[in-house]
Amino acid sequence: MTKAAAKPKARKKPARPAARPPADPNRRREWRFDLPLPAVVEGRLPQGRSFKEQARLRNISSTGAYFCLDSGVSVGTKLKLWIDLPKEATGGKKVRIQVGGLTIRLEKPDIKGKKQGVAVRFSKNFKFVGSK
């Protein structure tokens, strides 16, 4: 008697990876800190006129910050920021950081204060400077 023809083994399908968790609505890579730090923001408006304005950061991370301005900058505007650090974080000394950045997002001006929300991505270079 001849053996019955052996059936080829069915290949197993590779296991599917587990379902991905839902996307995090806060997709930022770095921690953001809600610190109302005083800052001076300087730049050039789309019309070419330069400006310098006092601001208060709403939040900050290692790669950027968010604050409001009256000046009317546009996305892609290069800015310089001088940020005053709290004395509690600097051993009681006045310390100011100077950092450059690029506007990456704008929000419509809020009706009350007519200020525009500005998100800035910091450049990699920064320096510590004396407080003015």
Backbone φ and ψ for 56, nearest 5 degrees, come out as -130, 120
What pLDDT does 41 receive?
A: 97
State both tokens at 126: 């920064």
Structural domains of the chain, with CATH? 38-129 (2.30.110.10)
Q: Which of 48, 39, 113 is nearest to 74 (CA)?
A: 48
- Cβ(86)–Cβ(74) below 8 Å: no
Which tens digit of pLDDT belongs to each residue from 46-66? 899 999 999 999 999 989 999
If pLDDT is split at 50, 70 and 90, which confidence band does 127 have? confident
Give residue-wise pLDDT tens across range 61-110.
989 999 999 888 999 999 999 999 988 888 888 899 999 999 999 988 76
